[in-house]
Amino acid sequence: MSNRYDEWFKLRVVQQCLREETSLREVARQHCLDASTVRQWLDNYRQHGVTGLRKKYTHRSAAFKLAVLERMWRDGLSHRQTAALFDIRERRAIGRWE
């Protein structure tokens, strides 16, 4: 996720997706955002609440990275689903680990 947006902006966008009959793509277009960014915010919010929208800087051990990859492979999860499950906010991290 981009560091350009604070958690309150992200929360407003997510809440708009959740309460309106407008599609996620339309909400993204209204805010000049990529739909995949909004989808990531929505996944993080559903999994972790408002804290899932906050900036997070974490160093992860090799053991943690391996455990994440093994869970993803075992359960047939996408990178996006795995990132939401483990609260990994850097969009391309799992692909790099893999």
Q: Is the pLDDT of residue 83 over 60?
A: yes
Burial class from Cβ neighbours inside 10 Å (0-12, 13-18, 19+) for residue 47 reads: middle
- Residue 20 main-chain phi, psi, to 5 deg: -100, 160
Tell me the average pLDDT across 59-65: 91
Q: What pLDDT is stored for residue 2 in this prediction?
A: 45
* Residues 27-42: tens digit of each pLDDT: 999 999 999 999 989 9
pLDDT, mean over the chain: 89
Q: Is the pLDDT of residue 7 over 80?
A: yes
Q: Is the pLDDT of residue 1 over 70?
A: no
